[in-house]
Amino acid sequence: MVIPESDAAWAADEFIDYFKNFSSIEDYLRYVKKEVITQTNQLTPLQDEFFNEDIHPDEMEFDIKFVGNRFQQSVPQEHYVNLLRAVSSHNNESNIPGRELRWMIYEKKTQQCLGFIRFGSPTINCKPRNDWLGRPPELKRFNRHSIMGFIIVPTQPFGFNYLGGKLLALLCCSHEAREQLNSKYGSDICLFETTSLYGTTKSSSQYDGLKPYMRYKGLTMSDFTPLLHDDVFKGLNKWFIARNNDKLLVKEDASSRKLKTQQKMISIIKKSSSSQKAAEFQTAIANAKNLTEKKRVYFSDYGFANSREVIRGDTDKLEKNPINFDKFYQENLIKWWKNKASKRYESLKSSGSLRTELEVWTKDMHIDIIR
């Protein structure tokens, strides 16, 4: 697809004007979040639903609720989206193609929300994964045996006071999570993946210190532009479709459809621009790519001894690691977390550093923790 030079110049300026607002990934996240919050009127009444109690970790019990109408005692999707929007830095998509399972985690006694989890189909390509396997996997086999955590977001101050992000990550690695995914999709999961929000600019992640449940495996590659936020993207996409005889730029059922559509837009602009505008556009896109950090990648093998060999196709039979396998049941994971969280809680309490202010995104609040 090639468009007139004047059209290409207009579209190029849309990208240039958008990305000139940001000097760091944090600037980008805050800007996108502000745009979402400006259009949202439902956040403040929801604040009472988030955990903000002074309870010792040993006294806590947990309740995992599914999201969606197909489950009994589940949370309606719209409610999940509204609550997550109040907490997460990302503008999380409401509907995602492919496999998906969403959880909300509650503290049983208070029935207040502690955090959010969304499992989904892993990204197609991942350098640390390919290095671990020794080669890119055969995708059909890989999808049968793997799952990814796209949202692992604790509410605040639960995350800060109690190592809440670590609790959620451990629940993702539980046999109970694996068994539910297997039941829903007819899978045989033996690998869980996730990535840190930040990469090389931060010295730590909420996933550090979780061995043997989760291990750091390396850094992602970083050669794509951050996504345009919803209104800007939708406007440009509609504009491009009109110039493509009302045809979509990318197939409707494509994976990572928004990213592929944006990449297609960039390709069309490059092909259709004059040399001067093309050079200006290339510089803007290169600067935008610099905003996207290499992220830390973490794996969990759910306590199996041969996850890699099964995913590679060297064998079809999963073998339990006799030392670690039972550690991955929820009861044992929570017990491990309570020991760590108790030390954190008691240290903060004795030093007077325990946080008591609930952190949610509102139109006039500058949140300290990006998550």
Handedness of CA 18, 21, 27, 30 (dihedral sign): negative
Report pLDDT digits (tens) over 19-30. 998 888 778 877
Residue 150's identity, in one-letter code, is F
Instruction: Out of 86-100, 101-115, 213-227, 312-326, pick the least confident.
Output: 86-100
What is the spatial distance between Cα 362 and Cα 148, in angstroms, rounded to a whole number? Answer: 29
pLDDT value of position 64: 95
Cβ within 8 Å of residue 33, ≥6 positions away? 89, 90, 91, 361
Mean pLDDT of 143-162: 94
Listing DSSP states for 195-256 in one string gives EEEEETTSS--TTTT-TTTSEEEEE----SPPPPPHHHHHHHHHHHHHTTTT--SS-TT-TT
Find out whether 199 and 295 touch, Cβ atoms under 8 Å.
Answer: yes
| pLDDT for the residue 271 | 93
Whole-angstrom distance, CA of residue 258 vs CA of residue 240: 13
pLDDT of residue 259: 83
Tens of pLDDT, residues 236-263: 999 999 999 999 998 887 667 888 899 9
> At 97, is the pLDDT very low, low, confident or very high (cuts 50, 70, 90)?
low
| 113 strand-pairing partners | 50, 106
Residue 310 has pLDDT above 60, yes or no: yes
Q: 3-state SS of the chain: helix, strand, coil percent to 5?
A: 45, 15, 40
Cβ atoms of residues 135 and 119 within 8 Å: no
Mean pLDDT of the chain: 87
Question: What per-residue confidence (pLDDT) applies to 217?
Answer: 93
Of 21-35, 167-181, 292-306, give the lowest mean pLDDT range.
Answer: 21-35
Provide the β-strand partners of residue 153: 116
Of residues 140, 103, 141, 136, the one with CA closest to residue 120: 103
Give residue 197's pLDDT. Answer: 72
- pLDDT at residue 71 tops 70: no
Residue 370, pLDDT score:
47
For residue 157, cis peptide bond before it (omega within 30 degrees of 0):
yes
pLDDT of 371 reads: 45
